[in-house]
């Protein structure tokens, strides 16, 4: 029997989020069902309900920073039992047979991973619905184990903001001896600062919000540069081995490429609605590169969660009532998040 599920959904790309009911599937033999306790609010949720990237599937229930407690498991589930704390991030399935899936890079599945919402199951037909809801059902292979040691609400953003910044820092082996700049202090940015500092890098925050300087330092940044101040930007030209670019809005990539040292890499995790405009000279000068990175695979997501439990790393959050979600979006759009909204699902 399918399970009646309460949610908040956008009915069209111009409508606000409002209550909506749907059914989660009956758990299959390898499925885990859990009560969602908290769900983080990612800027990708906003991009998608407004069709800023591509036409979405509506009604859309956003949310891919999902944590909760297991209430049912299918007959063949081995990894989890009723009562366990678990999480689901940006994916709920993938083909499992392609080279990337076999390498634990399910986010780059050659046959298309199933996004947690605004996507389809592997049948390519059944729509997926995300975590702004009270119940989740997911194959155990895409469910993550969550430590009981950490503040659960503050763990939720690790499922996207956390892994999306942890993964490139690990891939490019960023740590001691590296000067790394984080561009944009929001949900992803504040996790990038925490991880880069934890890995031993010298961290500079590049922000267009003067009010965030104190917080940047508290989060672990060693330096703060106000990007709206041309003199401050000039002073850090040719300075960084890496830039982690988390900005959600269009911005001038050429300016930031100029802040890299020779062979430096600007790693884009932010996805503004419009394509990047990059001049060839910005790259060939000092042999710089620009790269991208998408979330992280399931094994690395578990590694990141375990790392956070061991080092006591969580997100800095503002816990909100689900009825305030549309106001939260307005604030996020203005860069006014300190530093991740998390929905308390008890308010649904
Ligand atoms: P967020 O919390 O809204 O943070 C974005 C930050 O960008 C803001 O806090 C602000 O920082 C800066 N910013 C915003 N508007 C700006 C503007 N007009 N000019 C300059 N800076 C501006 O967003 P988020 O949830 O961290 O997500 C950031 C981006 O990453 C989004 O595009 C999202 O879709 C994307 N994303 C990608 C992946 C992936 O797999 N690669 C995963 C998750 C999210 P300051 O105030 O400090 O300047
Ligand atoms: Zn996200
Ligand atoms: Zn695959």
- Residues lining ligand 1, CB < 6 A? 42-44, 47, 160-161, 164, 184-189, 207-209, 212, 246-249, 251, 269-271, 293-295, 332, 335, 337
What is the reported pLDDT for 1? 78
The number of beta carbons lying within 10 Å of the beta carbon of residue 292 is 13
Q: What is the pLDDT of residues 23-54, one digit of tens each?
A: 999 999 999 999 999 999 999 999 999 999 99
Distance from the alpha carbon of residue 122 to the mean position of ligand 3, in angstroms: 10
Cβ neighbours of residue 227 closer than 8 Å, sequence gap 6 or more: 183, 206, 207, 208, 233
Name the 3-class secondary structure at 54: coil
In the predicted model, what is the mean pLDDT of residues 201-223? 98
**How many folded domains does the chain comprise?**
2
My answer on whether 325 and 277 are in the same domain is no
Strand partners, 281: none
Whole domain around residue 302: which residue ranges? Answer: 3-160+296-347
- Tell me, yes or no, if the pTM score tops 0.95: yes
Q: Which of 272, 292, 312 is the last residue of a domain?
A: 292
In the predicted model, what is the mean pLDDT of residues 151-174? 98
In the predicted model, what is the mean pLDDT of residues 62-66? 98
My answer on whether 148 and 29 are in the same domain is yes
Distance in angstroms (rounded) separating the CA atoms of residues 219 and 101: 34
Instruction: Categorise residue 51: left if φ over 0, alpha if ψ from -120 to 50, beta otherwise.
Output: left
38 and 156 in contact (C-beta within 8 Å)? Answer: yes
My answer on whether 273 and 333 are in the same domain is no
> Which CATH number does the domain housing residue 328 bear?
3.90.180.10
In the predicted model, what is the mean pLDDT of residues 150-154? 98
The number of beta carbons lying within 10 Å of the beta carbon of residue 200 is 12
Q: Which of 292, 310, 328 is the last residue of a domain?
A: 292
Pick from 295, 301, 92: nearest CA to 188: 295
Q: What is the pLDDT of residues 7-29, one digit of tens each?
A: 999 999 999 999 999 999 999 99
* Opening angle at CA 324, ends 320 and 326, nearest 5: 125
My answer on whether 36 and 172 are in the same domain is no
Mean pLDDT of the chain: 98
Pick from 206, 229, 177, 200: nearest CA to 311: 200
My answer on whether 31 and 166 are in the same domain is no
My answer on whether 145 and 79 are in the same domain is yes
DSSP-assigned letters across all residues of 268-301: E----SS-----HHHHHGGG-EEEE--S--HHHH
Sheet harboring 240-245: ordered strands across? Answer: 223-226, 202-207, 179-183, 240-245, 260-268, 289-292
My answer on whether 236 and 280 are in the same domain is yes
My answer on whether 11 and 143 are in the same domain is yes
291 and 270 in contact (C-beta within 8 Å)? Answer: no
My answer on whether 261 and 341 are in the same domain is no
Q: Which ligand is nearest to the CA of 221?
A: 1
Distance from the alpha carbon of residue 43 to the mean position of ligand 2, in angstroms: 6
My answer on whether 226 and 123 are in the same domain is no
> Which CATH number does the domain housing residue 174 bear?
3.40.50.720
Distance in angstroms (rounded) separating the CA atoms of residues 126 and 133: 18
My answer on whether 33 and 69 are in the same domain is yes
- In the chain, % of residues over pLDDT 70: 100
My answer on whether 112 and 185 are in the same domain is no
| Closest C-alpha residue for ligand 1 atom 4 | 186
């Amino acid at each position: 029997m399918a399970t009646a599920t309460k949610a908040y959904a956008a009915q069209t790309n111009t409508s606000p989020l409002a209550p909506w009911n749907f059914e989660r599937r009956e758990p299959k033999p390898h499925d885990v069902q859990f009560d969602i306790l908290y769900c983080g609010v990612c800027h990708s949720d906003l991009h998608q309900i407004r069709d800023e990237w591509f036409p979405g599937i509506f009604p859309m229930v956003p949310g891919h920073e999902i944590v909760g407690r297991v209430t049912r498991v299918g007959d063949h589930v081995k990894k989890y039992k009723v009562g366990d704390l678990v999480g689901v991030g940006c994916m709920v399935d993938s083909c499992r047979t392609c080279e990337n899936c076999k390498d634990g890079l399910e986010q780059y599945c050659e046959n298309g991973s199933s996004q947690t919402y605004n996507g389809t199951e592997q049948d390519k037909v059944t729509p997926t619905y995300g975590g702004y809801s009270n119940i989740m059902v997911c194959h155990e292979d895409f469910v993550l184990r969550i430590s009981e040691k950490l503040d659960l609400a503050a763990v939720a953003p690790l499922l996207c903001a956390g892994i999306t910044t942890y993964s490139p820092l690990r891939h490019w082996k960023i740590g001691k001896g590296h000067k790394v700049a984080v561009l944009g202090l929001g949900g992803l940015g504040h996790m990038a600062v925490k991880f880069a500092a934890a890995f031993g890098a010298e961290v500079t925050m590049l922000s267009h919000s003067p009010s965030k300087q104190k917080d940047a330092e508290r989060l672990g940044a060693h330096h703060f540069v106000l990007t709206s101040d041309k003199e401050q930007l000039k002073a850090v030209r040719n300075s960084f081995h890496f830039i982690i670019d988390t900005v959600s809005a269009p911005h001038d990539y050429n300016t930031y490429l100029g802040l890299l040292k020779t062979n430096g890499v600007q790693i884009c995790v932010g996805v503004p609605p419009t394509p990047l405009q990059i001049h060839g000279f910005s790259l060939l000068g000092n042999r710089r590169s620009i790269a991208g990175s998408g979330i992280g695979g399931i094994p690395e997501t578990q590694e990141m969660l375990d790392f956070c439990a061991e080092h006591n790393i969580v997100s800095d959050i503002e816990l909100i009532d689900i009825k305030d979600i549309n106001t939260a979006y307005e604030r996020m759009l203005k860069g006014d998040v300190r530093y991740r909204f998390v929905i308390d699902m008890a308010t649904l």
